[in-house]
Amino acid sequence: MSSLKQASVAKFKNKEAVIGIVGLGYVGLPLMLRYNAIGFKVLGIDIDVSKVEALNSGKSYIEHISSEKVFLARQSGFEATVDFTRVAECDALILCVPTPLNKYREPDMSFVINTTNALKPFLRPGQIVSLESTTYPGTTEEELLPRVEEGGLRVGQDIFLVYSPEREDPGNPNFETRTIPKVIGGHTPACLEVGIALYEHAIDKIVSVSSTKTAEMTKLLENIHRAVNIGLVNEMKVVADRMGIDIFEVVDAAATKPFGFTAYYPGPGLGGHCIPIDPFYLTWKAREYGLHTRFIELSGEVNKAMPEYVVNKLMDGLNDRGKALKNSRVLVLGIAYKKNVDDMRESPSVEIMELVAAKGGVVAYSDPHVPVFPKMREHNFNLVSETLSAENIASFDAVILATDHDGFDYSFISKHSNLLIDTRGKYRISEKHIIKA
């Protein structure tokens, strides 16, 4: 038993192991580059043929990851494939697949389950399987463990199983894969030991916890913390607005307190793959234990109402100018979910666009990071990014600043806008044509 564990640990320590990364998106791709850079052979596995072809020809499809980095990884042995039989070649299988919610706001585990089922026939002794996708406490034990053991392999003896949540912050120049501490929980102590050996070369600081469930709950707490605090400040924004107070000025002033306060800023809603989705994983699982997570649901409710709040502000502004939203031309600035990235997942900007279109507005967008509106699982606009010339800005009845990219010229935009709805607090000077939302 221990000889397999020792052999696995030694393989990772000596960098002789083959790292298999399953799912080559915003999490999997940076991880691939990191393992490649430190001298491991990496095999990328994905069901998306176009992603695999792009990577194999040395091209990146994620804006903040350069094609040059992918090309260099290819030169030094990285390879991508859609062929799951090659799972047998890998010593580690790191799962970085999506975990969205379905329309009933329940976890959609199909990507995790289908991926695990696809790996199953090719699992062999000595491998480690690590799930990085955010999920509810119990997933690794309830969904992965029985599938991994189905062919007769025993977890903790023949094969090793860990949960180690991803912590990516796309577009944040202060952190990269290597410098973000990594939480790991193993199904058994032997699993944890192999998991630490897998990640210790790639990540500066490893934080081991007592179980996979603890690691799963850790990731949820991180994201719930943000969701609840953003919900709180979004609610405060509505109250402050009614009282004629600038919430951004309030947050800035409160942030000067050197202890006991963390600045969270309001916005048009929540975006990204984590904060709008992950809290509901715990809400769903808590029901099994007869518990009702009121904080999580309330913050979700507040944050979900923000796009509508923005559109109501837009309608008020148009109304004051004697215009209806119907047939008005509306330009949305920034459709990625956060500044300076091209990530569109769960972007509140898209919801704002849909609300405007549903009320008969003619919607357009401008985003330096998203030149063409992408095909999305649930939303589709046949649009390309507008150029921000003086003439073009002035041709719109209203402009909504939804995502505050550094690439926008804010004074130029303000100068040529007829009506400007600011959801990000970029305009602190009170001007007649600017409405804070």
Would you name the residues annotated as active-site residues? 274
**List of long-range contacts for 166-171, beta carbons under 8 Å, 24+ apart:** 166/27, 166/96, 166/132, 166/133, 166/134, 167/219, 167/222, 168/26, 168/27, 168/30, 170/26, 170/62, 170/64, 170/338, 170/341, 170/343, 171/64, 171/338, 171/339, 171/340, 171/341, 171/343
Residue 49 to residue 395: CA distance in whole angstroms: 41
Residue 151 Cα distances to 112, 122, 126, 159, angstroms: 18, 10, 14, 11
> Residue 64: is it exposed, middle or buried by C-beta count within 10 angstroms (0-12/13-18/19+)?
middle
Residue 318 to residue 312: CA distance in whole angstroms: 10
Those residues whose C-beta lies under 8 Å from the C-beta of residue 115, and which sit 6 or more positions away, are 22, 23, 95, 97
Structure tokens at 329: 């031309």
Find out whether 264 and 215 touch, Cβ atoms under 8 Å: no
